[in-house]
Amino acid sequence: MKEVRVRFAPSPTGYLHVGGLRTALYNYLFAKKNNGKFVLRIEDTDRNRLVEGAVEKLIETLKWVGLDYDEGPDKPGDVGPYTQSQRLDLYKKYAEKLIADGNAYYAFDTPERLQELRDYQYKNKLQPKYDKLALKLSKEEIEEKLANGEPHVVRLNVRSGEKIKLNDIIRGQVEFETDIIDDQILIKSDGFPTYHLANVVDDYLMGITHVIRGEEWLSSTPKHILLYKYLGWELPEFAHLPLLLNPDRSKLSKRQGDVAVEDYRAKGYLKEALINFVALLGWSTSDNREIFEMNELIEEFSLERVHKAGAIFNIEKLNWLNAEHLRKKPAEELLSMLKEEFKNSKYADSIPDDDYLLLIIEAMRERVSFVREYIEKCPYFYERPTGYDEAVIKKRWKDDSQELLREYVGRLKRIENPQKEDYEKILVEIAEEREIGKGRLIHPLRLAVSGVGIGPGVYDLLFILGKDEVINRIETALTKISK
């Protein structure tokens, strides 16, 4: 069997769209699953849309998420270069072959004439299509115009009255009538190929066996199939992935939120969560399992299980997956991520030591969805409370709270090097002696040392802060909280 070769072929726009990430991921998974090769090809033939540094940024993002390609602009293979602007001669060569065989032709229309044609067609409710006027030129006329350097394009010569059949792996049988296909421009007046020509030439020359891409390219596929036919090339398999939709079922757009992978990265989403999330945008296993690591996705993935219906982009699900993946991480890994996070926080100059942070990591593990929340959700581990939550005071601070906390401090002072159990033991003792519920101590204690009413288990909280700090904070609170 032929080796599977797939490609991700982005146009460098300056950021990686989440839809692009999904396309790249499905290609990667398909390649890995089939022991094939995954190629990165940069489609930069639209010179008006070039963005400085975009390719480097894209490569950096792909590396960050872990989608390693086997061949690409910075990973030479046998069929490079992998950047279309470096392959112009190849497109020219095939355009000339198409012209020589009568399957493409030069056209010298001015923008004004094309506009008039479009206006006419619009007014008369005709399909907007080139009228093949250039085909009426004689060979001599064409040569003269070319020799005079007249601006021109090369167009695909689509014959009407034919049917083009496509057997898409995901969408099944799809049929197109050639009558509705325009004589697509293949080479633009700037000499650059359009997407269609360059894409087909490269897929063929790069030995691509499966073209896996977004559904928005389905309507271009008949033009591509014609090109394969005219050039006498065998067709690859096609698989068009379902559209990504906003919750209101409109097409996922920048307007309704972030679509750039880089933005999610900057917001602190884990690559594991993003990969897991986009994997499920249009694909599922038969048991609808939700949590996957990359190796498990490779194991389970198949194009046959990709859905036809549009996939809804649900940010809550991404947040949930982020929390799940974060919780699964070993403490040491969380520690180094947290230390990075600290560097960009207001505590950058006073980052606590590793042992202290490791205790916080264990105490807060079930309570955070993002690494930054190890800082944001529990500032009391890093600084003394500057105030006390009024609502908590109202609800939890009782007439005997002052006295109970004084008692607690007194007993704590007598214990040398208290462990977590000791903080519990003295609390239980006081509660039992006075025949009161433990809550009568727990809530005022928490409030006194943290300033708030929620957080990790109170004994963890006290133990992590340590004896001196706890005593200091309680004594301060006793002078400040009154009711």
Catalytic positions: 254
Rounded-to-integer distance, Cα 370 and Cα 373, Å: 5
Out of 9, 39, 227, 245, point to the residue binding ligand GLU (CB under 6 A).
9
Instruction: Find the shortest distance in angstroms from Cβ 181 to ligand GLU.
Output: 17
Out of 6, 10, 236, 242, point to the residue binding ligand GLU (CB under 6 A).
10
- Sheet strand arrangement including 153-156: 104-107, 153-156, 185-187
Rounded-to-integer distance, Cα 181 and Cα 159, Å: 9
Instruction: Find the shortest distance in angstroms from Cβ 217 to ligand GLU.
Output: 5
Closer of 186 and 371 to ligand GLU (Cβ): 186
Rounded-to-integer distance, Cα 244 and Cα 214, Å: 9
Instruction: Find the shortest distance in angstroms from Cβ 449 to ligand GLU.
Output: 55
Q: Is the peptide bond before 81 cis (omega within 30 degrees of 0)?
A: yes
Closer of 221 and 322 to ligand GLU (Cβ): 221
Span from 4-12, 314-322, 368-376, 384-392 in contact with ligand GLU (CB under 6 A): 4-12
| Tokens representing residue 423 in the block | 């903080």
Report how many residues bind ligand GLU under the rule CB under 6 A.
8
Instruction: Find the shortest distance in angstroms from Cβ 199 to ligand GLU.
Output: 5
Of 36-55, which residues contact ligand GLU (CB under 6 A)?
A: 43
CA distances from 348 to 126, 302, 341, 344, 381 (A): 66, 46, 9, 6, 14
Of 172-231, which residues contact ligand GLU (CB under 6 A)?
A: 195, 199, 213, 217
Closer of 54 and 270 to ligand GLU (Cβ): 54
Rounded-to-integer distance, Cα 249 and Cα 429, Å: 59
Closer of 11 and 83 to ligand GLU (Cβ): 11
Closer of 11 and 34 to ligand GLU (Cβ): 11
- Site of tokens 């928005």: 216
Span from 3-11, 149-157, 162-170, 266-274 in contact with ligand GLU (CB under 6 A): 3-11
Instruction: Find the shortest distance in angstroms from Cβ 221 to ligand GLU.
Output: 9
Instruction: Find the shortest distance in angstroms from Cβ 10 to ligand GLU.
Output: 5
Span from 6-14, 147-155, 263-271, 455-463 in contact with ligand GLU (CB under 6 A): 6-14
Of 308-347, which residues contact ligand GLU (CB under 6 A)?
A: none
Closer of 54 and 361 to ligand GLU (Cβ): 54
Instruction: Find the shortest distance in angstroms from Cβ 305 to ligand GLU.
Output: 21
11 makes contact with ligand GLU (CB under 6 A) = yes
Show Cβ contacts of residue 100 under 8 Å, excluding neighbours closer than 6 positions. none
Closer of 73 and 455 to ligand GLU (Cβ): 73
Contact residues: ligand GLU, CB under 6 A = 9-11, 43, 195, 199, 213, 217
